[in-house]
Amino acid sequence: MNINMNKKMSYLINNIEHLNSDEIFEFNLKKLNGLMIPNFVQVYDCIIISKKPLYILKENFKKAVLMHTDKIGYEAGNTEIRINDYVESINNSVQGMLQIALIVIECWLNKLKNIDKTSKFCFIISCDNENVTIRFHKVRENEKMWISKELEEYKEPVGYIIE
């Protein structure tokens, strides 16, 4: 996977190899399953993560898309996951969480390609001193990406992958 990233994210990603390979992560199996295989729901031509019944999502679709500005905003707003919320152990490094995030993105991509074989997806990864967050949206020609391509404008480490 090719990651477009700002210098802060590049520093973190490039130093993953220097991590203590003995770092231990503890996961609750149910939470781990929810992280690796979330409940992806296709609502018209959007894919989100939701446990709501499809008919409710469809009823509220137009209003939800308007609230998020467009379909990309709707998807990005409804696919955000904080990796830290799924890890039981504490004192894990941000770089370790980034490694988990990259593995999760690969799992999500496989599942999303089974749902929609023709679309490309933009996976966005960001972090602060403690938390690593991922989200995605479809790449649409008639809508801007959710993340700015001017990555150095972001104060925090950020990057994106298009697959």
- How many whole angstroms separate alpha carbon 94 and alpha carbon 111? 25
| Residue range(s) defining the domain that contains residue 99 | 4-17+25-162
Please determine, for residue 113, whether its predicted confidence score (pLDDT) is greater than 90.
yes
- What is the per-residue pLDDT across 28-66, written as a single tens digit (0 to 9) for each? 888 999 999 999 999 999 999 999 999 999 999 999 999
- How many whole angstroms separate alpha carbon 88 and alpha carbon 7? 30
The structural domain count of the chain equals 1
Written as six digits, the tokens of 105 are 């993105």
pLDDT value for 51: 95
Please determine, for residue 17, whether its predicted confidence score (pLDDT) is greater than 80.
no
Q: Are 89 and 25 in contact (CB under 8 A)?
A: yes
- How many whole angstroms separate alpha carbon 58 and alpha carbon 102? 31
Bridge-based pairing of strands 46-49 and 81-82 is unpaired
pLDDT value for 107: 97
Question: Taking each helix axis from N to C terminus, what angle separates 94-115 and 29-36, rounded to the nearest 10 degrees?
Answer: 60
pLDDT value for 154: 97
Cα 94 to its chain centre, rounded Å, is 15
Mean pLDDT estimate for the chain: 93
Q: What pLDDT band is residue 114 in, cutting at 50, 70 and 90?
A: very high
Q: How far is CA 102 from CA 66, 124, 142, in A?
A: 31, 10, 28
- In this prediction the pTM is 0.94
- Strand arrangement, sheet containing 4-5: 4-5, 158-162, 121-127, 132-138, 81-82
Written as six digits, the tokens of 102 are 């990259």
Q: What pLDDT band is residue 153 in, cutting at 50, 70 and 90?
A: very high
pLDDT value for 20: 60
pLDDT value for 26: 86
